[in-house]
Structure 1
């Protein structure tokens, strides 16, 4: 092999060449070694040339350091700094050794050819970040001087405004990203385009999606022309969509490119034949197999030959859950159901998979295979349930009533797929299921008819407190690996225990309101009082938490110095510094009484690795301040009492109307009983999560106690390092005392990438995102649609809040947020309405909105980006849409 410092030929490059050839150059080197793939010849000017080029400038390090101090929110500031460094680099000469080596490589590859000169950064075309289009590309470059000039301009383009901002947003240091330059023989194609070996819209890995147009691909990449769309699946064309192609870009004889109009008779002619599209898709799948993942491929068709110009990973696809049986599976996001769609660390995932009692076979300590991880989120595998006849019938109905209509429709859509329509449904488990459910069904029947439930909430609260005390004592009685194994055993019992506590009561709470609605419509023709009947029931643990925090706010408002302290308080020394403020001791007592009851809660509380209110009391400050700014003293209690009276009046009105009908006495008694039962029992809806979250808190404390020992012994750097391990891996670490620090660091990096992903609500095992979108008649043009979960119509200013800790809400505003969990409850007394991007009929925000009597629409796609903070909007909680006024 010829020795050279600044140039590497394509046959010398592969995927390990990233540091010297950049992402584009390394990928081209890999392509060059794929059998049956034609790649135009060329070479790469390595990052060593770039570093020697900028290394000649004593000013460059100062200019680079200035970029790290930039406010990337200021377009003008970014432009000034970028222009300064670009002008400086353009003034530098290309060192003679670089000129000589590049010229020699150009002559060896063919001085008579035209070339494409493309930037190839070391932070480009990576699996986690594409950086596509951030640096420059030059086409049809001819001659030595033009080539060298384009190379310098590529180096300079590392500091375009868009590249500077993109690196900052993706947390890449400006000084640690280097640029190589790809020099490749030009192909002058009749047709060119882009091919995705997975459908970038639906996410399906089974579909190859091809965009094609006439001339050079630059017209398509730059958005100048609509392209023909071809989709291929399983070796056959499944979709062809021919566009009107008005312009194309072609090479000029003297160098460079020119845009030309396409004659009218050619504008709607297919750019590719069907056979060529299928053949091209086959090449794409071969390239995908070589790279080990879906690819974004630039291709062209010239003189009867197909050329591949570039291939990079598709970075926008959501990762797939792992499956091993080769079947098509359906997955539903647990995070959407629990109102927590953030990425989770490995320990949080491991705890929840251990907590799930299903599909484990004989080992209850195992992690359930029916909860699959993808993109640091958990997905419920619905496939085995849908393989049963009863599951196919009941699951869409159940999801529609308990969650939302879009999820129900997504499941129904999945059931129409050929793989499922042709699969015989199993029936054998129905009898055993009915046998197990029979005792609960008898209790439900008795609970509806005659049992007194006024004491149920108090009994359940007592049982929960007793179980938490007992289990905490058990965990504290052992240590080491035995404590972790006991945690595994305990977690596997929590869901069955929660079910046995509340199943017969919660189901009655739900059934009773459905019966009230159905019977009211049947006997009276309407259910006008239904909206108010559910207001302010007594005993909901989450509502009581919101009222208790309102009480804390009322104590804070008495002491102006405390109020000022809270506005700038930090979690470290929070209480010790609070004591030194006038009124601080009184507020501290109120806060600590609150935290004694609810300190184990917090945002994203199903994730055991997330901070609790007890650990970060400043999480509560925005809600406390919003209460003080927007509500009068005791208004939260007054509003709750008002809601209770409205419910009583609504019940009295409904009963009075029924009494005036035929057989009214009996109808009124039936409805009166159902109303009483509903208000007694619907409040236990939040108790299962309350029960589980308290146990997650004691589990977290036990794990951190063991982690503290590992950190004290020098095995871990800090106790929180265990958050990057599963329960089984922690047991192994305690027993072997051999940490895998590289694994922990790798998982940290993966987590940072996964945090940026938007998880789909329903997806298949081949990556297809099934939306199950709602379509309604009489929806105003431009309105956003979702699931109506709390009736009423309200207008007001939108308060878009992405994070609870950043909440600054005033009474009467409409809360617009990705989701809510119990941590958001303190904002509900201030809200005039609620809009969320995820959620359903029985999720937290919906239940609390109904209790407070505020209109709510949930499951509204992209609500927090489409609706702007401060805009006036109208919510229709009857029909499920939002108008931006």
Structure 2
């Protein structure tokens, strides 16, 4: 840190350079050293990662990616970082610096990217920092983890939003001695909401709980002119503190002595105020600073400009990282409250005989069911989708600990054949099996005679699963079952023994951390299952809503009213006998670009294997029931209500990308190749094209017919 100068600013990054300047001005800064951006670039070049990164970011325009695709790209890159070695000459230099002063002391390994935390952009919370890292090899490993965080989904998204050139990104790393303070906090030398004020926030113990949002701070608002306290907002629940453990940190309960006492005295507040105002003079701009107090001595940990970019514009990127405690609470809410309420709402709807209602009652029922569907659709977005990050959290920890050659190996630990969609598919295959073994039954069904045991089991199937917007037409389902019965059953293929993988994963944790690891796996599995099941539950509610629309249109057709009218028109026409709605004009773009002579497309690998087959492009619900055994399913987006055709197809191609989307999940369950993230898949590929799906490389090869 002693040798950092103005010329090194871009090489050591914002954090390291700022601390160097403050140290020169007499601030109490813990000792540190910088692993420069040049070192990062050498690592990329010598390890071959440079070319791999370019290949990954060229797969698809980031602006067209969903979060699942962005996370997928990040996961693959992070795994490559973890499985790549630092060049020997570079490692020796870093190892030597660690041994000088840091081998036997705990350190913080922080990001310090060039351009990070400038006056116009703040990457606070975007890149990774690791607290309480001990030993030469662990420090080297965490340097790689910080380098990899340059390619986290949040960092990629944020750079994209700011218009920064992702290909030119680089990362320096700050390795700083860890000071275990008894009290810590942050200070804004200028309140972003009131330029006359300065804000101090403080907690007991380390800053980790404050920064992560796990611990509520006491907050003091001061007058910038004289440091007078304008307001003190007491933490509503001052009960927790972050302490060190053997590598990492943990949250513990405060004793009553401290829980009833504010963490800062008036003298502490005065000293922090003076430090903040002096730092502002050094940089000639308002500062956001982190500090800690050990034995009454204040240590300045980092200082960055208060960005002109409002925090709310960045909050979405940081919110991608759902904390473990948040996920546990969300699981209880979803499992104990929301899912039972969804089932109850769906059950209530199924009790209503729509044909017994008069027109006005039916119109009111449509309004009621639409309102219920819209309510649950909103809850799905706000509550259910965020819980999918349980899979993501498990994946991050699994890959960091296990360093598998396959970055998607974690999915084999989550795989769950008790998914509602898989139970539905097994029931379908049982029905198909009855026909497969009985030629006379096949002939009866083909002639429209559905009775006996088959008819009983089929009616039971439709009662349980026939309420989704896709599985509602008995005629179409019979057609599908007949197609299934014409070919051997496509059994679920286990990719690896999950028991062995689970045992290996849990074995890497020490006794104290095993409970956390088991809970994390449990959350990941629950998230995986719910990712599929919640769509089935929502599909049932939507199905009931569509049933009421269908009944309304049926009645209106007897009055000579055309079927292609809006739902609002259906409601109005049922209420007003003289109302004649205008039919919607449906146009199709006949200049279908399927004739574009693209022969090969690069997407994202989602399920291993290579297969060649005939493309079946899905553009409407009816297209699903035209699928034939062995075809390649080509679609815009799959949801679990559509995956009843999975046991028929030999491969899946989907526009949406990512390992966590439903097409990828069901493909891995059945062990069929899948490539996702293909822009305009249904336009580029036509029905009847011969396509090869390479689920290892994420490549689609098209042979036009």
TM-score range, shorter chain: 0.3 to 0.5
Q: Which has the larger radius of gyration?
A: 1
